[in-house]
Amino acid sequence: MEEAAKTARESLDQAFHISNILDTGLDRHTLSVLIALCDLGLNPEALAAVVKELQREPCPLPPTPAAPSSFP
């Protein structure tokens, strides 16, 4: 069991290194999730298309705190 975890960690490290070389902008956690989804049978090309689309869209701004009301 410990050997399997070590192998998985090393594989993720290698995939993350390749991801950085390719300048994908993916963090280690996101890459791990994408690999897990592929392991579950999702189409990697479809996942790549979704990731590209999400990276293209602007990040929503956090909600602005409501201005204090001037009404008593």
Q: List pLDDT tens digits, range 7-30.
A: 999 999 999 999 999 999 999 999
Q: What is the pTM of this model?
A: 0.71
Residue 40 has pLDDT above 90, yes or no: yes
Say what the pLDDT of residue 62 is. 74
Residue 33 has pLDDT above 80, yes or no: yes
Average of per-residue pLDDT values in the chain: 88
Q: What is the Cα–Cα distance from 12 to 63, expressed in whole angstroms? A: 34
Compute the Cα dihedral for 34, 39, 41, 44 and give only its sign.
Answer: positive
Q: What is the four-CA torsion angle of 35, 45, 58, 63, rounded to 10 degrees? A: -50
